[in-house]
Amino acid sequence: MIDQSSRNTTPGCGRAYPDGYGVVEPVADYRPWDVDSEFQAIYREIREHTMVDIYRLWILWVLARRAPAGAVLEVGSWRGGSGAVLARVAGDRRAARANPGAAGTAPRAGEPKQPRVYLADTFAGVVKAGERDSYYRGGEHANTSPEHVRSLLDELDLGWVELLVGIFPDDTGPRVEDERFALCHIDVDVYQSAWDTFWWVWPRLVPGGIAVFDDYGFYGCEGVTACVEEIMARLPGVPVIPNLSGQAVIVKTEG
Ligand SMILES: C[S@@+](CC[C@H](N)C(=O)[O-])C[C@H]1O[C@@H](n2cnc3c(N)ncnc32)[C@H](O)[C@@H]1O
């Protein structure tokens, strides 16, 4: 059994917690990720290339499998681990379309012939840190490169994934502005990048499309928590699911 429960990406975990923060200890004990051999297979390949723990990766895996047809975007790919999980699901769905009835994910109406997955990163670290961000100053997580991600994707036969190198959406948004997205994973650590990415992608999400924020439930990423709470206030009636793994999931129920 692979268990990454001790891995914690919270940057501020050495500090004393203020009110409203503390270790979260859910009491559930259903662990489907332990017995899903397809998930475990990709997890084994990418676990050394991600800061995202197995719980959040599992949520991404499930959401990507259930998302409507459309392109997939991840902003904040770092060494490519979580992006490779999303790409593996997109590839499986494409294969299911070509071969209905085969094992794997059920095809959806309108499933594209070629899966379209975009992984965006500055590859120069975090940008747009500001006063809402308590920990990040800019430049963190620059210890990656497009070559590192490309080599991981090639090893996993996911070479068709497109990398968007630069600040998203400022530099690289125009390259994909005509896409329609089924799922967007926003893992950028700070308020302004999360805000800019969400409002860029929101009008481009198909009905049923999903935006998943990493960082929402982590001490040190209060900017992203604030970003999601401001979005909730601006979008009353839109389903927002904050989960106990630290993500916030927003579903676009209407076009
Ligand atoms: C915590 S890391 C992402 C972790 C990754 N998802 C994984 O699987 O480990 C955050 C990344 O976001 C990137 N980033 C932050 N703001 C960005 C922006 N506006 N455009 C592109 N990349 C950004 C940083 O360069 C950094 O690599």
Probe residue for ligand 1, chosen from 137, 188, 221 as the CB with the greatest number of ligand atoms within 8 Å:
188
Query: Is 69 inside any structural domain?
Result: yes
What is the pLDDT at residue 207? Answer: 97
Query: Is 207 inside any structural domain?
Result: yes
Q: Locate the ligand 1 atom nearest the alpha carbon of residue 46 and give its number.
A: 8
Query: Is 42 inside any structural domain?
Result: no
Read off the pLDDT of residues 98-139 as tens digits, 9 standing for 90 and up.
776 655 555 556 665 677 999 999 999 999 999 999 999 999
Read off the pLDDT of residues 21-61 as tens digits, 9 standing for 90 and up.
999 999 999 999 999 999 999 999 999 999 999 999 999 99
Query: Is 17 inside any structural domain?
Result: no
Token reading at 189: 């650590």
Q: What is the CATH number for 86?
A: 3.40.50.150
Beta bridge partners of 71: 181
The total number of structural domains in the chain stands at 1
Domain that holds residue 58: 49-251
Read off the pLDDT of residues 158-182 as tens digits, 9 standing for 90 and up.
999 999 999 999 999 999 999 999 9
- CB of 51 sitting under 6 A from ligand 1: yes
Token reading at 198: 């969400």
Query: Is 64 inside any structural domain?
Result: yes
What is the pLDDT at residue 137? Answer: 97
CB neighbours of residue 121 within 10 Å? 29
CA distance 177 to 14: 40
Query: Is 44 inside any structural domain?
Result: no
Query: Is 138 inside any structural domain?
Result: yes
Query: Is 63 inside any structural domain?
Result: yes
Let me know: does 94 contact 62? Beta carbons within 8 Å. Answer: no
